[in-house]
Structure 1
Amino acid sequence: MQDIIRASDLSAGAVYSYFKSKDDLIFAAVATSLDDLRTMLDETMRRAPAKSADDLIGLLLPAITKFAARDGYDLRRIALLGWSEAQRSERLRVAIQSHYAAFRADLAKLAASWRPSSNAADADAMAKLLLTVLLGAVVQSAIMGDATAEDIARGLRLLTQA
């Protein structure tokens, strides 16, 4: 909290008037980031509807990278900390789970449109894979830094053609 207070240029009393604890501050930061990310992803998918899984990944990963790039830090690395905090905070885990469940439902609708003959279970399975690819790409980029959106989209296209 001392680092946060120092970085905010506010007094401890002012910071604590907004947040009662470090957990409240972490929750607010993660919830705000997820809300902003969801808005950006929705707008991105609405502007350029994807016609395939690799098209979607190729569209969303650059948008996530751009969203995550901040002055002096990268939200993808901070996302790893948020996921870690969610393992000890049930409140945070439920909030993150709710965001991901809603996004996965949207991915299932999109996946169903690519394969009109698929049933709800198939669309759900495709959505789970797409979310796994997106979240895995965040982890890989935060840790490895060498997998581009083009690499991942190409890999997915090659796998689906195999």
Structure 2
Amino acid sequence: MPRLSTELWEQRRQHVLVSAWRCFTRDGFHATSMDDIIAATGMSSSAVYRYFRSKSELVDATAAESLQRIRDLLAGLLAQEPTPSLAEVVEALVDYVAKRNKNEDYDLSKIAVYAWAEALRRPEVRTRTHDFYAGVRVHLTQLAQRWRDDGRLAPDADPDAVGAVLLTMLPGLIVTQHLVDGASATQLVEGLAGLASVR
């Protein structure tokens, strides 16, 4: 297929996907119908179905996009030299969550919450989500290992435990952003430091 045609195909597929994000942001997965999405695209139903055969495919593609953005963020942090500090990692996570809801048309952070619910409902989505977050924990543990190696983390600290805390904090950032006033990166770092002194 000629390159231009391939690019056009990708552009139209992305248009359908973004149109679905707008609908999902407004009404959630289950209250959104394919007719709603088709109307939002301004395309014919046959054209939309060339790119996604069902709403389930759109839901899966939406979840995959959300996860890929987290993966890209962590890959970028791991690639930095020198290794970013805990404060820099937490700030990057907080900024990432904040930016996900800045688009006027859709909010991927809200959609992430719907995707977690979908993982509880559909075993195949749960498996993919579990595997993804297990990989995220590995990346966060690698960061903690580097902090221990360069003396920024206590020699007897468990990097895997640190990775588990950071992984658990990430969904919390998204939920609190929508339900209560979210914490700043400074507050979170100070809170983590304070907890380290609890006996």
Bin the TM-score by the shorter chain.
0.7 to 0.9
Q: Secondary structure at the match of 1:33?
A: helix
Contact 2:101–2:109 at 8 Å: present in 1 too?
Answer: yes
Question: TM-score normalised to the size of structure 1?
Answer: 0.84
**Structure-2 separation of matches of 1:101 and 1:110:** 15
Structure 2: gaps of 5 or more residues: 1-33, 150-154
Q: Does 1:149 align with 2:178?
A: no
| Aligned equivalent of 2:39 | 6
Q: What code does the residue aligned with 1:10 have?
A: M
Aligned length, in residue pairs? 159
**Residues 41 and 79 from structure 1, CA distance in 2 versus in 1: closer, same or farther, beyond 3 angstroms?**
same
Of the candidates 110, 135, 149, which is equivalent to residue 102 of structure 1? Answer: 135
1:161, distance to aligned residue in structure 2 (A): 3.8
Q: What code does the residue aligned with 2:85 have?
A: K
1:68, distance to aligned residue in structure 2 (A): 4.4
**Structure-2 separation of matches of 1:33 and 1:75:** 7
1:59, distance to aligned residue in structure 2 (A): 3.0
Structure 1: gaps of 5 or more residues: none
Q: Which structure ranks higher in relative contact order (CA pairs < 8 Å, sequence separation ≥ 6)?
A: 1
- Cα RMSD between the aligned structures? 2.2
| Greater Rg over alpha carbons, structure | 2
Q: What code does the residue aligned with 1:97 have?
A: H
1:45, distance to aligned residue in structure 2 (A): 4.7
**Structure-1 separation of matches of 2:94 and 2:35:** 34
| Aligned equivalent of 2:24 | none
Question: TM-score normalised to the size of structure 2?
Answer: 0.70
Further displaced range: 60-69 or 106-115: 60-69
Of the candidates 59, 65, 89, which is equivalent to residue 26 of structure 1? Answer: 59
Contact 2:78–2:143 at 8 Å: present in 1 too?
Answer: no
**Structure-2 separation of matches of 1:10 and 1:37:** 30
Q: What code does the residue aligned with 1:110 have?
A: L
Contact 2:77–2:89 at 8 Å: present in 1 too?
Answer: no
